[in-house]
Amino acid sequence: MELTVGNFARYVKTTLRTLRHYEQIGLLVPKMKNRLNQKVYSRDELKKFYNIQLLKSLNMPLHEIKQRLENPKYSFKDMLEVQEAVLLDKKEKINMSLEMINRIKNLVIETGHLKTDDLMLLMNSIRLEEDQRVILNQYFSSNTVDTIMPKGKSQQKELDRLNMRLLSFVQSAIQNGLSPESDQVQRELKELLKKLPLPIDELSNTNNNFDEQLEIFQALLPVDMVEFVKEAMQALYKKHKEE
């Protein structure tokens, strides 16, 4: 078997650009030439090409493939275990991304429309849930954290609805010039906390360090919304203590 680069590319269903790149980095270099002094690919190159594609399918970068194939002592078995761990990690991340997309699609179906900024805000909120859970575990009971950040799909769906409801309400309240201390805002906050439900006592007893740790997530929100919610919650805590 002796194939020129063009014929070899068609034979293995790849591109000339790919083969040129492989040759340039020393990964797959044809050793023979035909009578026209053209480089040709033999069975050896064919076997090596398929081995390269195999390792690529296992998520191995080209520079590492080159090192592996040039090292006669490398253990394919050990490599499989390493690549399995890499692929399982990637699979978990892909599954998380798909779940996030599914949750957002359900919200879009229910609301009919989401502005781009709101869409990205809600998606970031979902994407960073585990980071937020770590912080919440430092200040609240495990039952409270599981209530705030549920892992069951039906509960997550309800939480997503509540987050969307809170976002829409705060935006509307600001646009309509409502005060954070107004009865309408306070009623809505109470209603949302009942639906979670969240113990107001636990929420009101958090310290400044808790607020500082959440600042990285609050940065996703417009400043006026962050300030509005803070003032509304402070008013709610004060009223709760007075009652």
CB of 155 within 8 A of CB of 103? no
Residue 206 has pLDDT above 80, yes or no: no
Residue 202 has pLDDT above 70, yes or no: no
pLDDT score, position 204: 66
Residue 226 has a CB neighbour count (10 Å cut-off) of: 17
> Of 27-36, 49-58, 101-110, 134-143, where does mean pLDDT reach its minimum?
134-143
Across the chain, what does the average pLDDT equal? 86
Residue 168 has pLDDT above 80, yes or no: yes
User: Which CATH architecture does the domain made up of 3-74 adopt?
Assistant: Orthogonal Bundle (1.10)
- State the average pLDDT over residues 138-162: 83
The whole-model pTM stands at 0.63
Res. 207 pLDDT band, cuts 50 70 90: low
**pLDDT tens digit sequence for 169-198:** 999 999 999 999 999 999 998 888 887 766
- State the average pLDDT over residues 85-108: 90
**pLDDT tens digit sequence for 30-50:** 999 998 999 999 999 999 999
Within the chain, where are the H helices? 5-12, 16-24, 43-57, 62-70, 76-111, 116-127, 129-136, 142-148, 153-175, 183-195, 200-204, 208-218, 223-242
**pLDDT tens digit sequence for 98-112:** 999 999 998 888 887
Which residue did the predictor score with more confidence, 85 or 202?
85
Residue 216 has pLDDT above 90, yes or no: no
- State the average pLDDT over residues 142-160: 83
pLDDT score, position 47: 93
Which of 28, 79, 86, 24 is closest to 53 using CA atoms?
28
